[in-house]
Amino acid sequence: TACGTSWHAGLIGKNLIERFAQVSVQVEYASEFRYNHSIIDNKTTVIAISQSGETADTLAAIKKANDRGAITIGICNVPGSSVSRETDCGIHTRCGHEIGVASTKAFTAQITILYLLALKFADSRKTITKNKLKAYLDKSAINSGLRSLSKVLKAEKSINKIAKKYKKASDFLYLGRGLNFPVALEGALKLKEISYIHAEGYPAAEMKHGPIALVDKNMPNVFIVPKDQTYDKIISNIEEIKSRKGKIIIITDSRDKILKSLANDLIIVPKTNHFMFCQLATIVLQLFAYYIAVGKKLNVDQPRNLAKSVTVE
Ligand code: M6R
Half-sphere exposure of 148 (CA within 13 A, CB side): 23
H/E stretch holding 5:
helix 4-21
**Most ligand 1 atoms within 8 A of CB, residue of 49, 55, 59 to mutate:** 55
What's the N-to-C CA distance of the chain in angstroms? Answer: 15
Whether 284 contacts 268, CB under 8 Å: no
**Ligand 1 centroid – CA 107 distance (Å):** 9
The closest of 93, 195, 104, 96 to 149, measured between CA atoms, is: 104
Residue type, 164: K
Per DSSP, helices labelled H in the chain are 4-21, 30-33, 56-67, 82-86, 105-125, 130-137, 139-154, 156-166, 180-195, 231-242, 257-262, 274-295
CA of 52 to the centre of ligand 1 (A): 8
Q: Is the CB of 148 under 6 A from ligand 1?
A: no
| Contact indicator for 56, 312 with CB cutoff of 8 Å | yes
Atom of ligand 1 nearest to the CA of 5: 10
| Rounded Cα distance, 280 and 278, in Å | 5
**Which stretches of the chain drop beneath a pLDDT of 70?**
none
- Give, in order, the Cα–Cα distances in Å from 251 to each of 183, 248, 288: 11, 10, 11
Whole-number pLDDT of residue 204: 96
From the alpha carbon of 310, which atom of ligand 1 is closest? 8
Q: Is 116 in the pocket of ligand 1 (CB under 6 A)?
A: no
How far, in Å, from the CA of 180 to the mean position of ligand 1? 19
Residue 73's closest CA among 93, 59, 89, 85?
89
pLDDT tens-digit readout, 92-114: 999 999 988 899 999 999 999 99
pLDDT at 309: 85
**CA nearest neighbour of 14 among 142, 135, 132, 182:** 182
Q: What's the CA gap between 181 and 18, in Å, rounded?
A: 16
Contact, 67 vs 44, CB < 8 A?
no
Q: Which of 27, 28, 51 to mutate to test the pocket of ligand 1 (most atoms within 8 A of CB)?
A: 51
Beta bridge partners of 73: 47, 89
Q: Which atom of ligand 1 is the closest one to the Cα of 55?
A: 4
CA distance 124 to 133: 11
Question: Does residue 4 line the site of ligand 1, with CB under 6 A?
Answer: yes
Does the beta carbon of 6 lie inside 6 Å of ligand 1?
yes
| Predicted local confidence at residue 140, as pLDDT | 86
Residue of minimum CA distance from atom 9 in ligand 1: 4
pTM of the model: 0.96
